[in-house]
Amino acid sequence: MSAAAADWLPAVDVTAAGRPVLTAGEVERHLVAQADETWESAGQNLQDAFQDLNALMSKAKEMMELAEKMRQKLLTNSSAQSNSNDEEMGSKQDMQDWLLSVGIVSPVTKETAGALYHQQLSRQLADYIRTPLEKAGGMMALVDVYCLYNRARGTELISPEDLLQACSLWEKFDVPVMLRKFDSGVKVIQTKTHSDDEVFARISSLAQKEDALQKGISPSDTAFTLGIAPALAKEHLLNAESIGILCRDVSPDGLRFYINIFNEIDLQNMYIKLVVLNTT
């Protein structure tokens, strides 16, 4: 290349190896261009992700609406048809479990309900908790209901005070559930058809088994038999003790209960026999 032809070319520094050396300004422009390209790519990926998320949320809403319709139909069918075979009952139970995991379609909020918030929350809670109560044997601890209900509401969480106030309003409404407080202070939600007598009969039967007559029964044993939480099992045992079905034994091994055999003793007959013995 001639010297005249090279006059119009920009001067570029070269290293000893013949490679060009970039100036500070050129390096800066290069880095800025790379950053812009990276941000543009990230922005496009984020936009695509939000589009996918919006589509997913739209489908999820449709699924939740469908689940709510199916749940209502299951509740209607279960109340209308009492005689079903085991296979049908198992299928219904599986469907109810799945619907329970889906959640609530339109949870009541203070923004949508306004002054009627607690009344509407009370009715929605009573409707929602029916299936979990049936699965739990007719009774659940209030704290368990709180966790389960908030999980179903998604991001629209409620406070413990709101839950308690909603439950206390059930006395004014014709709903199949009720709030109950044990003597120990433990609060539970139970169906109005729940019978303590049936629970006491099962506890009495458990306490009269051969192994239980020797070692007694614990809240854990009772919880396993009744299919309930140990805390609720303990409350049932204490209630059974209070009406004379059980006797308690407190030892280093813990709290255990035995069948109350003193109920089988005829005190009147024993008194007569003692009088006869003393007079002879």
DSSP for 55-96, written as a single string? HHHHHHHHHHHHHHHHHHHHHHHHHH-----HHHHHHHHHHH
Residue 244 forms part of a structural domain: yes
pTM confidence score: 0.59
- Are 209 and 247 found together in one domain? yes
Residue 93 forms part of a structural domain: no
d(CA 242, CA 195): 16
pLDDT of residue 153: 86
- Are 181 and 208 found together in one domain? no
Residue 45 forms part of a structural domain: yes
- Are 67 and 107 found together in one domain? no
Q: How many domains does the chain have?
A: 3
Residue 95 forms part of a structural domain: no
- Are 209 and 183 found together in one domain? no
- Are 184 and 116 found together in one domain? yes
Residue 174 forms part of a structural domain: yes
pLDDT of residue 135: 85
- Are 169 and 107 found together in one domain? yes
pLDDT of residue 9: 47
Residue 164 forms part of a structural domain: yes
CATH number of the domain to which 113 belongs: 1.10.10.10
Residue 83 forms part of a structural domain: no
Residue 86 forms part of a structural domain: no
Mean pLDDT per 10-residue section of the chain, whose length is 280 residues: 50 55 72 80 73 66 64 60 53 54 71 90 92 88 93 88 94 92 92 91 94 92 90 94 93 90 72 62
- Are 179 and 231 found together in one domain? no
237: containing domain = 196-264
pLDDT of residue 20: 62
Six-digit token pair at 275?
A: 């009088």
> Which pLDDT tens digit goes with each residue over 41-74?
777 777 777 677 667 666 666 666 666 666 666 6
Q: How far is the CA of 89 from the CAs of 54, 75, 190, 223, in angstroms?
A: 37, 12, 22, 24
